[in-house]
Amino acid sequence: MNDADRKALEAIRRRNPDADPRKFLPDVPVMRIPRHIAIIMDGNGRWATSRGLSRSDGHRAGASSVRRALVRCAELGVEYLTLYSFSSENWRRPEDEVRALMELCVENCHSQQAELSSSGVRVKVIGRREGLPEDVLGALDFVEQATAGGNRITLCLAINYGSRGEIVDAVKSLARDVAAGRLGVDQIDEAMVASRLYTAGIPDPDLLVRTAGEMRVSNYLLWQISYSELCVTPVLWPDFTAADVDAAVREYASRNRKFGGLAGGA
């Protein structure tokens, strides 16, 4: 291990003493472990349909993949995992499917809270509260509060989330400050816009994974993924395992990020 990797490992271990990226990815320099992974969890419907099950059964099966992905991300020392759980466009789905998704959300907040808390996971929810049923809001508030002290990994759940709506909300909040004389137009810069997004304070995703093969971003984190590396896998979300997390991270580590500059980074 070179100096940079040793330092990267120390930084990871200070936050999460049990993380051991080299155990799962001995071929990947620790420095190249992504700090933030965002996932578009897609393919639950296709998984269920191909088995003659209902779409809701597919969503239920997908919930186990969440746990597997979260555990492996923590083991690798990833700091943030952001999961697209329900988009602001998913309300267009049949009522019974939407209801099943909301019920699953409530159920999992309660059934997973103890394990999340004991494993040092902090849950943060992003998206619009307006429109979500009271019981869902209550369950989300409960799990956020119960896990507020978690400092090993942040699980960010995008629920009733749409990126354009998020940008609209940010613009409104800036406009209100300008109208009230609290903010000058020329003070607005990229950092200030970022600070008004739901993801304020969270670094941009290094890696965006989409399962089930579609080559689109579906209104997810449009501002935040400006320089994220993209990885699309054909694996359907309910089939997604720890080995698939490893594969995506290995792929990410092999990329040459340039941020508009020359090879090798800044």
Q: Which of 119, 173, 195, 218 binds ligand IPE (CB under 6 A)?
A: 218
* Residue ranges in 95-114 that form contacts with Mg ion under rule CB under 5 A: none
Asked if 220 touches Mg ion (CB under 5 A), the answer is no
Catalytic residue among 42, 57, 204, 244: 42
Max CA-CA distance within the chain? 59
Closer of 235 and 253 to ligand IPE (Cβ)? 235
Pairing relation of β-strands 36-40 and 80-87?
parallel
Asked if 85 touches ligand IPE (CB under 6 A), the answer is yes
Binding region for Mg ion (CB under 5 A) out of 40-48, 80-88, 99-107, 242-250? 40-48
Residue type, 200: A
- Going residue by residue from 12 to 41, which x/- string records binding to ligand IPE, judged by CB under 6 A? ----------------------------xx
Sequence-distant contacts of 113-120: CB under 8 A, at least 24 apart: 113/142, 113/143, 113/146, 113/147, 116/143, 116/146, 116/147, 116/150, 116/155, 117/146, 117/147, 117/149, 117/150, 119/71, 119/74, 119/150, 119/152, 120/16, 120/74, 120/150, 120/151, 120/152, 120/153
Closer of 42 and 204 to ligand IPE (Cβ)? 42
Q: How far is CA 83 from the centre of its chain?
A: 3
Catalytic residue among 90, 169, 219, 239: 90
The whole-angstrom separation of Cα 149 and Cα 228 is 28
Closer of 42 and 206 to Mg ion (Cβ)? 42
Binding region for ligand IPE (CB under 6 A) out of 16-24, 66-74, 139-147, 209-217? 209-217
Closer of 21 and 127 to ligand IPE (Cβ)? 127
Q: How far is the CB of 94 from ligand IPE (least distance, A)?
A: 11
Q: Which helix (H) or strand (E) holds 30?
A: none
Q: Which of 87, 112, 163, 224 binds ligand IPE (CB under 6 A)?
A: 87
Q: Which among 84, 124, 24, 48 is positioned nearest to 209, based on CA atoms?
A: 84
Q: Which among 73, 214, 95, 243 is positioned nearest to 153, based on CA atoms?
A: 73
Asked if 46 touches ligand IPE (CB under 6 A), the answer is yes
Closer of 138 and 234 to ligand IPE (Cβ)? 234
The neighbouring-strand residues paired with 230 are 208
Q: How far is the CB of 214 from ligand IPE (least distance, A)?
A: 5
Q: Which of 8, 16, 21, 42 binds Mg ion (CB under 5 A)?
A: 42
Residues 6+ apart with CB under 8 A from 48: 54, 55, 56, 57, 58, 59, 61, 238
Active-site residue, 42 included: yes
Residues contributing to the site for ligand IPE (CB under 6 A): 40-46, 55, 84-87, 90, 101, 212, 214, 216, 218
Residues with catalytic annotation? 42, 90
